[in-house]
């Protein structure tokens, strides 16, 4: 065989490289359709760029439930500054004993809602009303102690929006990144788990099976920012495995049993329905509800008064304790803090990962707070805009992803 002239060889190499690059960059969003046709998987490879969500994550506004003088406020505002989110924090009122009494079932001895839960209920109401008064069409309501990933705006929300549009209204106009507000009532973007049934009945492998997912409307999608399965909250990891959801994927699905109201999106119609019908500001002992989140769960489940969707794993999760410092004090002083079962199950992992449950690259560990140093803020924003986790260098050194 006659060897081609040198310059021709290098031309061939250049051409081959160009072709390779073409395939790497223009690989369509990974579209493996899983053999079970009911579950289609869509998403992007790590290299692809999606268009970042806007400062209110594609909703009309981001409304925060934050009590008067909440110690969480400063950290929340710093996290929002780094992620470049625009928050609306309606002024809360100090609820009085009379407000609590007015809320309770008239025969108070039969009342089941605790004082703290009544006040939280009223605080959510205040924020829903502020949303309606603002005139915007949709809102994400969230509690002020939630954590999120620094890649929320650049990667996570755009992917979730695409899944939402596919599920609800693929042809929605571009001003509705989450689909037309007539086609959905509530998106649970932050929760402490939608475990498909009451936790007491069991969760995950050995209890749930793929049909529990395939029988309901759902959309599975790749998200490169998702922690490894072994780094997800034990209940979440087990549930995703039981439902046969591929690794590195989230699923947006019809809500089955969403717990907690860390972050939920509403429309004007659904906010009104919540205020007057699903969770009115007056206890009804016949409904046997002990908290606001239980009322919403009931609204999503019973006869689907509300058309709700949950994203699993969630994008917002409440931070464990006040801080790592508070946790250390607790360990040293053997102080006992009451934790609900989901927190108990996730506690050891939170401590080990130094991350909030189900959050990949969040604020809880503290290194993303800029403490009002403008130069640090700029650096953090730069990383966030690039959709990068600035902790990855440190993690590599520690031999962890």
Ligand X SMILES: *[C@@H]1O[C@H](CO)[C@@H](O)[C@H](O)[C@H]1NC(C)=O
Give the strand pairing for 87-88 and 61-65. Answer: parallel
Cis? peptide before 313, omega within 30° of 0: yes
Per DSSP, 231 falls in state: G
- Record the tokens describing residue 176, joined without a space: 């509705």
| Between 284 and 398, CB nearer to ligand X | 284
Q: State yes or no: residue 288 binds ligand X (CB under 6 A).
A: no
Q: Is 65 exposed, middle or buried (0-12, 13-18, 19+ CB in 10 A)?
A: buried
Task: Give the nearer residue to ligand X in terms of CB position, either 62 or 226.
Answer: 62
Shortest separation between residue 210's beta carbon and ligand X, angstroms? 35
Report how far residue 344's alpha carbon sits from residue 347's, in angstroms, rounded to the nearest whole number.
Answer: 5
* Sequence-separated (6 or more) residues with CB below 8 Å from residue 171: none
Does 55 help bind ligand X (rule: CB under 6 A)? Answer: yes
Nearest to ligand X of 177, 193 (CB atom): 177
Interface segment toward ligand X; rule CB under 6 A; list 71-79, 104-112, 299-307, 373-381: 104-112
> Which runs of E-coded beta strand occur in 4-58?
41-42
Q: Positive or negative CA dihedral for 261, 266, 268, 274?
A: negative
Name which of 286 and 303 has its Cβ closer to ligand X: 286
For residues 157 to 186, the per-residue mask of contacts with ligand X, x marking binding by CB under 6 A and - elsewhere, is ------------------x-x---------
| Residue 54 binds ligand X, judged by CB under 6 A | yes
CB of 246 to ligand X, least distance (A): 30
- Angstrom distance (rounded) from CA 320 to CA 396: 24
**Residue from 42, 43, 60, 252 that binds ligand X (CB under 6 A)?**
60
Between 88 and 323, whose beta carbon lies closer to ligand X?
88
User: Distances from the Cα of 69 to the Cαs of 7, 306, 326, in angstroms?
Assistant: 73, 33, 19
Select the span of 48-56, 219-227, 321-329, 393-401 touching ligand X (CB under 6 A): 48-56
Span interacting with ligand X, options 49-57, 76-84, 146-154, 180-188, rule CB under 6 A: 49-57
Tokens found for residue 224: 């490169």
Q: Is 110 in the site for ligand X (CB under 6 A)?
A: yes
The one segment of 102-110, 158-166, 208-216, 274-282 that binds ligand X by CB under 6 A = 102-110
Sign of CA dihedral 161, 162, 168, 173: positive
Nearer to ligand X, 33 or 86 (CB): 86
CA dist., res. 322 & res. 292, Å (int):
22
Residue 172 or 199 having the CB closest to ligand X: 172
What are the Cα distances from residue 9, in Å, to 1, 6, 369?
14, 5, 53
Cβ pair 352, 228 in contact under 8 A: no
| Pick from 257, 260, 264, 254: nearest CA to 293 | 260
Least separation in angstroms between CB 284 and ligand X: 15
Q: How far apart are CA 266 and CA 92, in angstroms?
A: 20
Contact between 312 and 220 (Cβ < 8 Å):
no
Where does this chain touch ligand X (CB under 6 A) — which range of 52-60, 147-155, 253-261, 308-316?
52-60
Q: How far is the CB of 104 from ligand X (least distance, A)?
A: 12
109 scored as a contact of ligand X (CB under 6 A)? yes
Taking a C-beta distance cutoff of 8 angstroms, is the pair 258, 307 a contact?
no
Task: Count the residues of the shown chain that bind ligand X, applying the rule CB under 6 A.
Answer: 11
CB of 219: closest distance to ligand X in angstroms? 20
Could you tell me which stretch among 105-113, 179-187, 331-339, 343-351 binds ligand X (CB under 6 A)? Answer: 105-113
x-marked contacts with ligand X along 75-94 as a string, rule CB under 6 A: -----------x--------
Query: CB of residue 136 vs ligand X: minimum separation in angstroms?
Result: 6
With CB under 6 A as the contact rule, which of the stretches 15-23, 94-102, 103-111, 121-129 interacts with ligand X?
A: 103-111
Place of tokens 């402490």: 192
Q: Which residues contact 267 (CB under 8 A, 6 or more apart)?
A: 137, 138, 181, 182, 184, 185
> Using the rule CB under 6 A, is 267 a contact of ligand X?
no
Interacting residues with ligand X (CB under 6 A): 54-56, 58, 60, 86, 107, 109-110, 175, 177
């Amino acid at each position: 065989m006659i060897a081609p002239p040198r310059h021709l060889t290098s031309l061939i190499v250049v051409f081959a490289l160009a072709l390779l690059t073409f395939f790497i960059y223009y690989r369509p969003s990974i579209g493996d359709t899983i053999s079970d046709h009911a579950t289609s998987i869509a998403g992007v490879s790590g290299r692809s760029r999606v268009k970042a969500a806007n400062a209110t994550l594609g909703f009309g506004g981001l409304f925060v439930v934050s009590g008067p003088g909440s110690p969480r406020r400063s950290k929340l505002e710093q996290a929002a500054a780094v992620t470049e989110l625009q928050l609306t924090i309606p002024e809360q009122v100090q609820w009085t004993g009379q407000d609590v009494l007015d809320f309770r079932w008239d025969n108070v001895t039969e009342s089941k809602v605790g004082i703290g839960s009544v006040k939280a209920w009223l605080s959510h109401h205040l924020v829903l009303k502020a949303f309606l008064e603002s005139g915007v069409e949709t809102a994400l309501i969230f509690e002020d102690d939630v954590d999120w990933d620094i890649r929320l705006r650049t990667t996570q929300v755009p992917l979730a929006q695409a899944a939402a549009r596919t599920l609800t209204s693929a042809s929605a106009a571009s001003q509705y990144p989450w689909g037309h507000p007539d086609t959905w009532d509530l998106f649970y973007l932050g929760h402490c788990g939608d475990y498909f049934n009451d936790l007491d009945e069991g969760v995950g492998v050995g209890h749930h099976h793929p049909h529990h997912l395939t029988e309901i409307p759902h959309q599975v999608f790749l998200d490169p920012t998702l922690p490894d399965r072994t780094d997800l909250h034990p209940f979440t990891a087990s549930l995703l495995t039981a439902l046969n959801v591929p690794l590195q994927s989230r699923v947006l699905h019809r809500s089955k049993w969403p717990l907690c109201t860390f972050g939920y999106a509403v429309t004007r119609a659904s906010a009104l329905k919540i205020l007057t019908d699903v969770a009115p500001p007056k206890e009804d002992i016949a409904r046997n509800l002990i908290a606001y989140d239980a009322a919403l769960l009931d609204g999503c489940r019973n006869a689907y008064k509300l058309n709700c969707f949950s994203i699993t794993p969630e994008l917002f999760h409440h931070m464990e304790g006040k801080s790592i410092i508070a946790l250390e004090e607790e360990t040293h002083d053997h102080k006992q803090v009451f934790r609900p079962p989901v927190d108990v199950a996730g506690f050891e992992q939170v401590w080990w990962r130094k991350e909030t449950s189900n959050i990949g690259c969040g604020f809880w560990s503290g290194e993303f707070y800029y403490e009002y140093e403008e130069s640090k803020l700029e650096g953090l924003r730069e990383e966030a805009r690039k959709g990068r986790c600035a902790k990855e260098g440190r993690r590599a050194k520690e031999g962890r992803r």
